[in-house]
Amino acid sequence: LLSQPERKEFLKRVYDRQRHIV
């Protein structure tokens, strides 16, 4: 399981990726 901070960074990376794709 991911910790709170790690999860936050993970979501941030995923968001950045989606934004880049879009």
Q: What is the pLDDT of residue 10?
A: 92
What does the block give as tokens for 8? 């936050």
Alpha helices (runs of H) in the chain, residue ranges in sequence order: 4-21
Write the pLDDT tens digit of every residue in 1-22. 668 889 999 999 999 988 876 6
- Does pTM top 0.85 for this prediction? no
Rounded-to-integer distance, Cα 4 and Cα 10, Å: 10
Rounded-to-integer distance, Cα 22 and Cα 19, Å: 5
Q: What is the pLDDT of residue 19?
A: 82
